[in-house]
Amino acid sequence: MEKKKTKGKKKLEKTPSHASKKVAKTPSTRGRIFKGEVIRKFNKRITIQLERTIFIPKYERFLKKNSKIHARLPDEFQDKVEIGDIVRVQECRPLSKIIHFIFTEKVSGEKKQ
């Protein structure tokens, strides 16, 4: 039996592009920026409470209202953020049913008064 000769062509094994590095991509930010206090912390999410003032023309007075915002907490900031911290979040594309913001920075570690 004779051995078949190849014409110098070598088969290259290619790795699929999706099997290479898995990099967590953070979504791009846009829109409004809010600053508030962290009231709950979850695995990949934080809940922020915002205090806002609304003017009531009939009584010519201001009313304080609280709003809650859910924000995505990236993995690199899991240990740095605690309940009671003042943080800044920025609007991004909808990440889930309730998460439309992403954590950008920690303003202070003390509870506001």
Task: Please tell me the predicted confidence (pLDDT) of residue 17.
Answer: 57
Task: Please tell me the predicted confidence (pLDDT) of residue 108.
Answer: 85
Q: Where are the beta strands (DSSP E) in the chain?
A: 29-41, 45-56, 61-72, 86-92, 101-108
pTM of model > 0.75 = no
Domains defined along the chain, listed by start: 28-108 (2.40.50.1000)
List of the chain residues with pLDDT < 70? 1-24, 110-113
Task: Please tell me the predicted confidence (pLDDT) of residue 49.
Answer: 96
Task: Please tell me the predicted confidence (pLDDT) of residue 20.
Answer: 52
Residue 7 exposed, middle or buried by CB count within 10 Å (0-12, 13-18, 19+)? exposed
Report how far residue 35's alpha carbon sits from residue 103's, in angstroms, rounded to the nearest whole number. Answer: 10
Identify whether the C-beta of residue 89 lies closer than 8 Å to the C-beta of residue 101: yes
Identify whether the C-beta of residue 88 lies closer than 8 Å to the C-beta of residue 33: yes
Task: Please tell me the predicted confidence (pLDDT) of residue 89.
Answer: 94
